[in-house]
């Protein structure tokens, strides 16, 4: 349907060339401008057919066809015809779709998102404002209705709406602080409209969607094993509201992290249990975004074990599912960038708090980040700063700048503040890796001897040893759904105590346990064996099937005996 050839020359003003031109006469030039503004566009048949198909799918609430048009049709046409140029204006599309207001709002959401992502030089100030007004119209339609609105959208699109809403707020917050290249008119326009993309408006939308959907109550009941629909209410039972409510929780996590409020970021997710599969989040980009911001919040709150566990889990998930994303170039690129950022944050966390992680994740870490980790372990603060700058989110100021003092406006001030906090934490721990490396070599060590090794006084060394004890003891999540809960634990591979002037060291490194692994495999083989026995009881169509079944059973029996013998040798 959308594979027809397209002639770009047809997408131009429809007036004859040379009919309207500047003459130098003000009256005639004014007429020229009027005609130019009133010009009509010729939309190619292939684009028109797509709009008709897309509109029909939305009108009929056909989720499968909407998803096909959203994920395949729109992206293919974008790559082919609008790779670096905008799609047609909504005013041009309106007659094709019968002036359907709701469809045009949804189309504008895609239209402005495409401008942000693909069009060179990005959106103009007017387009940034228009996109905000369009989001207001969309959310007002959803939230102000007396009953659930007759609209069904795929989960991926719902996530992208919330994700893009926060992204555009983030872009605008940075844009309004970059005043050096702005004209007086632009600054005056920004000063006169302080409520456009205001942080309170964004928070209000997200909290309203959460409240309308009763998603927190639904998650509590779901976690306890009950039926979420029993507490969902009229709106929460509707898929549109339920998923927008869930995604808004993730949006609040992201927004509070961008503002530097990590406690409130995790507080928003206290009803979500990340340690088991959640039926509400089946969008990979949402999962990855969630774990990235949760892990970063843990890192900034000095909960290194939780940060390492969070990053390891999601990086392992990406390893196992990355084949799913390769056919979708834009999503694949986005996930690849996030993957690199999380590996960088994991390397920082492991330098500050060494502990054992999954072997496959660890091998990737050694392959890509061994040199960087070595420099950080040696106390290179410049390396810490570079890695943090690369991997951290783009922090925001919650308030617009004071345009009366333009010289003092610095759009990097929120980042500089977070970097300062992080580097202060690093500075306090800068010698701990060196102390740890010496302690690993001894079971007892005089304080004076270690002070000589470290080239510092004994009193200063005692301070650093106390710092070692303090920094290695973290608040660690153990149970419950709230990510803020936990118990104080120490996962350091080296523990010690000081008796007078002697340091007594205990190596707490846990040896690898092979027994549990093999026992799990035995249980799996027993399940397979039981399954094959059940198959054998069924009537088979031919002797060949019986021989295949017999061969499979004998193969499992051989493997099972091998595992059992290996386990007995290991134990």
* Segment-wise mean pLDDT, segments of 10 residues, the chain, 571 residues: 38 35 47 43 83 92 91 88 88 90 94 90 89 94 90 92 94 86 84 89 94 89 81 87 92 94 90 67 84 94 90 88 71 85 93 85 87 88 92 89 75 89 88 84 87 87 84 75 72 79 72 62 73 63 51 55 51 46
- The three state secondary structure string of 257-319 is HHCCCHHHHHHCCCCCCCCCCCCCCCCHHHHHHHHHHHHHHHHHCCCHHHHHHHHHHHHHHHH
* Residue 540: predicted pLDDT: 52
Do you know the residue count of the chain?
571
Give the pairing type, strands 487-490 and 444-446. unpaired
Question: DSSP assignment of 81-128, as one string?
Answer: H-SSSPPPPHHHHGGGGTT-HHHHHHHHHHHHHHHHHHSTT---HHHH
Could you give the C-alpha distances from 79 to 87, 108, 330, 410, 462, in angstroms and in order? 11, 18, 11, 37, 63
107 neighbors 93 (Cβ within 8 angstroms): yes
- Look at residue 133 and give its three-state secondary structure: helix
* Residue 15: predicted pLDDT: 32
Burial classification of residue 497, based on how many CB atoms lie within 10 Å of its CB (0-12 exposed, 13-18 middle, 19 or more buried): exposed
Alpha-carbon distance of 84 to 114, in angstroms, equals 9
User: Which sign does the torsion angle of CA 215, 216, 219, 221 carry?
Assistant: negative
Kindly calculate the radius of gyration of the chain based on its CA atoms and give it in whole angstroms. 30
User: Which sign does the torsion angle of CA 310, 312, 313, 318 carry?
Assistant: positive
* Residue 209: predicted pLDDT: 94
Greatest CA separation for the chain: 100
**If you search the block for the tokens 């198909």, which residue do you land on?**
53
* Residue 21: predicted pLDDT: 44
* Residue 342: predicted pLDDT: 94
Give the end-to-end CA distance of the chain in Å, rounded to a whole number: 64
Closest of 247, 49, 275, 268 to residue 153, by C-alpha: 247
Alpha-carbon distance of 432 to 426, in angstroms, equals 10
Reading the block at residue 171, the tokens are 């872009």
Could you give the C-alpha distances from 99 to 92, 95, 96, in angstroms and in order? 10, 6, 7
Structural fold of domain 412-507: Arc Repressor Mutant, subunit A (1.10.10)
The domains of the chain are located at 283-401, 412-507, 540-570
CB atoms within 10 A of CB 417: 13
Does the model's pTM come out above 0.85? no
Could you give the C-alpha distances from 437 to 377, 457, 469, 505, in angstroms and in order? 10, 19, 15, 12
Partners of 502 in the β-ladder: 446, 499
Count the alpha carbons within 13 Å of 299 in the hemisphere toward its beta carbon: 32
For residue 175, how far is the Cα from the chain centroid?
Answer: 22
- Look at residue 429 and give its three-state secondary structure: coil
Burial classification of residue 45, based on how many CB atoms lie within 10 Å of its CB (0-12 exposed, 13-18 middle, 19 or more buried): exposed
348 neighbors 390 (Cβ within 8 angstroms): no
Could you give the C-alpha distances from 464 to 66, 394, 436, 485, in angstroms and in order? 60, 33, 11, 28
**If you search the block for the tokens 């759009």, which residue do you land on?**
411
454 neighbors 435 (Cβ within 8 angstroms): yes
């Amino acid at each position: 349907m959308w594979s027809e050839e397209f002639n770009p020359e047809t997408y131009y003003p429809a007036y004859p060339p040379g009919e309207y031109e500047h003459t130098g006469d003000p009256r005639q030039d004014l007429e020229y401008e009027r005609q130019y503004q009133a010009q009509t566009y010729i939309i190619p048949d292939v684009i028109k057919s797509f709009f008709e198909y897309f509109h029909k799918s939305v009108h009929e609430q056909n989720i499968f066809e909407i998803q096909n048009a959203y994920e395949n049709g729109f992206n293919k046409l974008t790559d082919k015809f609008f790779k670096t140029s905008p799609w047609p204006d909504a005013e041009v599309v309106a007659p094709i779709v019968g002036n359907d207001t709701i469809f045009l709002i949804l189309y504008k959401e895609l239209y402005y998102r495409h401008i942000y992502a693909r069009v060179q030089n990005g959106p103009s100030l007017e387009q940034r404002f228009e996109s905000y007004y369009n989001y207001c119209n969309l959310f007002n339609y959803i939230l102000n209705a007396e009953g659930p609105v007759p609209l069904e959208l795929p989960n991926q699109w719902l996530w992208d709406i919330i994700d893009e809403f926060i992204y555009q707020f983030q872009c605008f917050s940075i844009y309004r602080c970059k005043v050096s290249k702005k004209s007086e008119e632009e600054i005056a326009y920004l000063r006169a409209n302080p409520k456009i993309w205001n942080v309170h408006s964004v928070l209000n939308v997200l909290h309203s969607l959460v409240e309308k959907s009763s998603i927190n109550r639904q998650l509590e009941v779901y976690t306890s094993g009950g039926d979420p629909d029993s507490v969902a209410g009229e709106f929460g039972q509707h898929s549109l509201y339920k998923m927008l409510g869930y995604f808004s929780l993730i949006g609040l996590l992201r927004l509070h992290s961008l503002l530097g409020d990590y406690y409130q970021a995790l507080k928003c997710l206290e009803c979500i249990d990340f340690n088991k599969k959640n039926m509400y989040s089946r969008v990979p980009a949402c999962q990855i975004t969630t774990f990235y911001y949760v892990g970063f919040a843990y890192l900034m709150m000095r909960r290194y074990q939780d940060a390492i566990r969070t990053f390891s889990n999601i990086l392992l998930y990406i390893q196992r599912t990355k084949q799913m994303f390769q056919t979708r170039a834009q999503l694949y690129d986005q996930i690849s960038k996030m993957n690199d950022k999380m590996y960088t944050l994991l390397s920082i966390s492991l330098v500050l708090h060494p502990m054992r992680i999954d072997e496959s994740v660890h091998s990737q870490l050694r392959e890509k980040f061994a040199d960087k980790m070595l420099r950080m372990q040696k106390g290179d603060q410049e390396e810490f700063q570079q890695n943090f700058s690369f991997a951290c989110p783009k922090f925001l100021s919650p308030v617009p700048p004071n345009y009366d003092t333009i010289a003092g406006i610095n759009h990097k001030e929120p980042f500089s503040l977070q970097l300062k906090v992080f580097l202060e934490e690093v500075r306090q721990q800068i010698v701990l890796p060196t102390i740890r490396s010496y302690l690993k070599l001894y079971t007892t060590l005089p304080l004076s001897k270690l002070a000589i090794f470290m080239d510092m006084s004994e009193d200063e060394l005692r301070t650093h040893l106390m710092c070692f004890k303090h920094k290695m003891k973290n608040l660690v999540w153990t149970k419950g759904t709230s990510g803020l809960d936990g118990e104080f634990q120490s996962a350091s591979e080296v523990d010690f105590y000081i008796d007078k002037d002697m340091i007594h060291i205990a190596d707490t490194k846990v040896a690898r346990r092979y027994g549990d692994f093999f026992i799990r495999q035995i249980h799996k083989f027993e399940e397979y064996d039981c399954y094959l026995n059940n198959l054998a009881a069924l009537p088979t169509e031919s002797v060949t099937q019986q021989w295949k079944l017999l061969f499979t059973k004998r193969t499992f029996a051989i493997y099972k005996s091998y595992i059992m013998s290996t386990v007995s040798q290991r134990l």
